[in-house]
């Protein structure tokens, strides 16, 4: 794979140049090139003695999905933060007018009281992740999201929740920099959630969940908000590198 990478990066290389770029011994490079040529991934340009990729090499990326950023970028950061704070984290995405848990560290958190969370659907308006998604999305996207929820789920304005009107909740979310859930949905726990952005769009939210009896909301906010925002920022930066 390293040989394929350097050939692609340099738009064709001689065998000696490949050996130098990969630090693979030249005899091994020759054997690898012969194997790759037999598989149809590279071809030798006899006029320049350079090896180039064939169209067959494109098949190596045909299975890549946009969702693979979760495995490459989000999960390592979730594991790092989870080991630091010990409380579980969920990566949630907006899907089918609800928030869906895409990944979770409940299985490695010593403080988790939940299991089997991946794939669970959560209400948008009552959860920290849903509130972060709405608060930090562009205005037009937020309007369309609420309109879709109204049409598909029958959720109609005024959007008054157990802890106040939705607009006030979203204003508070923007002030805090994170979505929040103090009560209501899942009474045993509380949570805060930070947006993960690709450009102007919020494509996911990263949520910390803790047991309400163990920490007050204000204490948890003071302890974990900056760390959460830093992790969400790292994931967003990783998305830029993936293109």
Q: What is the mean pLDDT of residues 8-23?
A: 87
pLDDT value, residue 156: 83
| Of the candidate ranges 146-150, 173-177, 178-182, the one whose mean pLDDT is the lowest | 146-150
pLDDT band at 54 (very low <50, low <70, confident <90, very high): confident
Helices (H), 107-216: 128-136, 139-153, 166-176
The predicted-structure confidence for 217-236, as pLDDT tens digits, reads as follows: 999 999 999 999 999 999 99
Q: Is a pLDDT exceeding 90 seen at residue 177? A: yes
What is the maximum alpha-carbon separation in the chain? 74
Q: What is the pLDDT of residue 63?
A: 53
The model's pTM? 0.73
Q: How many CA atoms lie within 13 A of 54 on its CB side?
A: 12
pLDDT for 1 equals: 85
Here the tokens at position 165 are 């009107």
Average pLDDT over all residues of the chain: 89
Q: By percentage, how much of the chain surpasses pLDDT 70?
A: 94
Query: Do 150 and 97 form a contact (C-beta atoms < 8 A)?
Result: no
Taking the C-alpha atoms of residue 164 and residue 174, their distance in angstroms, rounded to an integer, is 15
Q: Which fold has domain 66-242?
A: Beta-Lactamase (3.30.450)
Neighbour count for residue 43 (Cβ, 10 Å): 17
The answer to whether 235 and 242 are in contact (CB under 8 A) is no
Provide the pLDDT for residue 65. 56
Whose tokens are 């990066």? That residue is 9
Share of the chain above pLDDT 90, in %: 61
Ordered by start, the domain boundaries in the chain are 2-61, 66-242
Q: Report domain 2-61's class.
A: mainly alpha
Indicate the Cα dihedral angle 92, 95, 100, 105, nearest 10°. Answer: -40
Rounded CA-CA distance 193/129 in Å is: 5
Task: Give me the pLDDT at residue 25, please.
Answer: 93
More confident position, 78 or 63? 78
Q: What is the mean pLDDT of residues 150-172?
A: 91
Mean per-residue pLDDT for 171-190?
A: 93
């Amino acid at each position: 794979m390293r040989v394929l990478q350097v050939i692609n990066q340099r738009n064709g290389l001689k065998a000696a140049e490949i050996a130098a770029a990969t630090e693979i011994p030249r005899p091994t490079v020759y054997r690898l090139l012969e194997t790759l040529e037999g598989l149809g991934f590279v071809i030798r340009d006899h006029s320049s003695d350079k090896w180039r990729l064939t169209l067959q090499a494109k098949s190596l990326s045909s299975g890549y999905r946009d969702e693979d950023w979760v495995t490459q970028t989000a999960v390592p950061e979730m594991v790092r933060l989870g080991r630091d704070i010990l409380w579980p984290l969920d990566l949630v995405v907006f899907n089918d007018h609800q928030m869906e848990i895409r990944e979770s560290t409940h299985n490695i958190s010593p403080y988790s009281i939940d299991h089997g969370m991946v794939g669970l659907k959560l209400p948008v308006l009552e959860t920290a992740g849903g509130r972060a998604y709405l608060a930090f999305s562009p205005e037009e996207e937020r309007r369309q999201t609420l309109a879709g929820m109204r049409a598909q789920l029958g959720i109609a304005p005024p959007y008054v929740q157990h802890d106040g009107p939705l607009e006030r909740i979203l204003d508070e979310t923007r002030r805090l920099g994170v979505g929040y859930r103090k009560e209501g949905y899942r009474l045993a726990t509380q949570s805060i959630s930070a947006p993960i952005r690709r450009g102007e769009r919020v494509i996911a939210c990263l949520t910390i969940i803790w047991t309400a009896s163990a920490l007050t909301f204000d204490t948890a906010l003071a302890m974990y908000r900056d760390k959460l925002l830093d992790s969400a920022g790292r994931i967003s930066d990783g998305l830029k590198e993936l293109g």
